């Protein structure tokens, strides 16, 4: 690297050149295979080139569990350094041009400088996130018993004021949405009046909604449990939808894949929220047991494909399609966060592209004739297509690397950073 914040384009070109011949062969083989199915690979590549998913600023530092956190040398210590790592991820993968920041974790005195820094790195800002699930130093009222739904008016007002500050920060950064996730709920049956808590949520959220700039959306994120372990105020998509409909047309629902009971059919939720015009965004991650925040596609890649299958079906059938905000929300406890994010972003993009390969006409005909097996096979044919050569070609065309993770290792990015960013006992990264 000549410049710490960018990988030399010559280095990327050299990396790509060394893989060019093999990739070309694989790409031609895939092109021929798709051609036999009546699919033009170049058109699919165009879709791959347009796909984007936002990086979460809080995920470029090591995460942790309730038990421990294992910092690594060279991880970012503040939002400016987080943006540098996001910039490298984007430069190599070319599918992550935006970053979703979280306040107060990413607080800075100079938001304009942050915006300029992002632009210089080829990045811009996606949704901004507020945090009323932790108490901050010098905060007047505690969120121990809730924030926007607290029984105490002054505490609610403090939480509302924080959200208004986050909107202001987002306005400077060029964001177009506020993601609202609260941990409010109860730990013991009897502790909270469910009906009153929801009314208090609406009353608070109305004030936040009223402060949104005209071209912004409010993304309401539900989560089944945790930190509240008996009941959570915004616990599922039903409550999220009720809230969005009560607030107004620019309030939408955000689906975090890890925030549901284990057996819930998330792809159906996508279809329902779309029908109500309330599908606002996603937090992609994977989970085995709960809100595990594991790497996207690591546990249940078919589920992710099915989510995209629903999305692509709507995208293709709706001339007024407005793409929901696609974001990653993960926690990396034992891997290099940048590598996990590259791997996840590429998997998410490839899930989208494979969903684009579904023969929608054939699928509709099988559904119409109740041919369950062939309908399923139709999905599986797309799901099982190895689109890696197509994704690599698109990446190279966009200026990225054929194999981003390998190149990231070859340039020893983390080692170079370690010299400038010594391990911190408590780096500025979220562990939720």
Please say which residue, 81 or 256, places its beta carbon nearer to ligand AFD.
256
**Which residue, 200 or 223, has its beta carbon nearer to ligand AFD?**
223
The single residue among 184, 291, 315, 336 that binds ligand AFD, judged by CB under 6 A, is: 291
Task: Provide, rounded to whole angstroms, the least separation between the CB of residue 73 and ligand AFD.
Answer: 23
Considering CB distances under 5 to 8 angstroms, the limit depending on partner class, which of ligand AFD, Mn ion, none binds residue 91? Answer: none
Residue 58 binds which one of Mn ion, ligand AFD, none, with CB within 5 to 8 A depending on kind? ligand AFD
Asked if 30 contacts 353 with a C-beta cutoff of 8 angstroms, the reply is no
The residue (of 58 and 408) whose beta carbon lies closer to ligand AFD is: 58
Q: Which is nearer to ligand AFD, 155 or 179 (CB)?
A: 179
Least distance in Å: CB of 151 to ligand AFD?
23
Residues 171-190 that bind ligand AFD (CB under 6 A): 181
Interactions with ligand AFD, residue window 251-280 (CB under 6 A): 256
Report the residue number, 90 or 130, with the smaller CB distance to ligand AFD.
130
Distances (CA, A) of 266 to 73, 228, 303, 317: 37, 22, 8, 20
Q: Within 10 Å of residue 427's Cβ, how many Cβ atoms?
A: 18
* Residue ranges in contact with Mn ion by CB under 5 A: 256, 283, 291, 329
- Residue 158 binds ligand AFD, judged by CB under 6 A: no
Encoded one letter per residue, x for contact with ligand AFD by CB under 6 A and - for no contact, window 213-232 reads --------x-x---------
Nearer of residues 267 and 410 to Mn ion, judged by Cβ: 267
Binding footprint of ligand AFD on the chain (CB under 6 A) = 58, 129, 181, 221, 223, 256, 283, 291, 329, 430, 432
């Amino acid at each position: 690297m000549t410049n710490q914040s960018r990988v030399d384009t010559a280095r990327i070109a050299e990396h790509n050149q060394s893989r060019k011949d093999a990739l070309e062969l694989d790409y031609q083989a895939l092109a021929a295979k798709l051609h036999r199915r009546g699919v033009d690979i170049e058109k699919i590549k165009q879709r791959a080139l347009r796909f984007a998913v936002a990086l979460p600023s809080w995920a470029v530092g090591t995460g942790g569990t309730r038990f421990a956190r294992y910092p690594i040398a060279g991880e970012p210590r503040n939002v400016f350094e987080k943006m540098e790592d996001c910039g490298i991820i984007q430069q190599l993968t070319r599918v992550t041009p935006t970053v979703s920041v979280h306040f107060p974790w990413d607080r800075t005195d100079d938001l304009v400088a942050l915006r300029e820094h992002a632009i210089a790195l080829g990045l811009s800002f996606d949704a901004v996130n507020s945090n009323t699930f932790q108490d901050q130093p010098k905060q007047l009222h505690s969120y121990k018993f809730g924030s926007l739904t607290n029984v105490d008016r002054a505490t609610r007002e403090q939480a509302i004021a924080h959200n208004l500050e986050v909107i202001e920060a987002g306005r400077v950064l060029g964001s177009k949405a506020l993601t609202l996730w609260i941990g409010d709920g109860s730990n013991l049956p009897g502790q909270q009046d469910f009906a009153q808590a929801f009314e208090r949520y609406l009353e608070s959220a109305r004030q936040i909604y009223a402060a949104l700039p005209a071209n912004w959306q409010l993304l309401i994120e539900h989560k089944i449990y945790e930190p509240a372990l008996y009941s959570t105020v915004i616990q599922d998509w039903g409550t999220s939808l009720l809230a969005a409909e009560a607030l107004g047309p620019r309030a939408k629902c955000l689906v975090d894949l890890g925030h549901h009971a284990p057996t819930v059919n998330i792809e159906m939720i996508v279809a329902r929220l779309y029908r109500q015009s309330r599908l606002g965004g996603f937090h992609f991650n994977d989970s085995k047991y709960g809100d595990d925040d594991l790497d996207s596609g690591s546990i249940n890649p078919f589920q992710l494909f099915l989510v995209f299958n629903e999305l692509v079906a709507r995208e293709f059938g709706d001339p007024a399609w407005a793409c929901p905000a696609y974001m990653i929300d993960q926690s990396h406890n034992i891997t290099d966060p940048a590598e996990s994010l590259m791997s996840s972003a590429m998997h998410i993009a490839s899930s989208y592209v494979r969903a684009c390969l579904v023969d929608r006409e054939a699928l509709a005909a099988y559904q119409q004739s109740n041919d369950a097996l062939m309908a399923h096979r139709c999905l599986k044919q797309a799901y099982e297509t190895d689109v890696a050569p197509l994704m690599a070609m698109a990446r190279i065309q966009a200026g990225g690397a054929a194999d981003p993770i390998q190149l990231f290792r070859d340039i020893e990015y983390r080692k170079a950073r370690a010299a400038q960013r010594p391990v911190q006992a408590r780096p500025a990264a979220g562990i939720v």
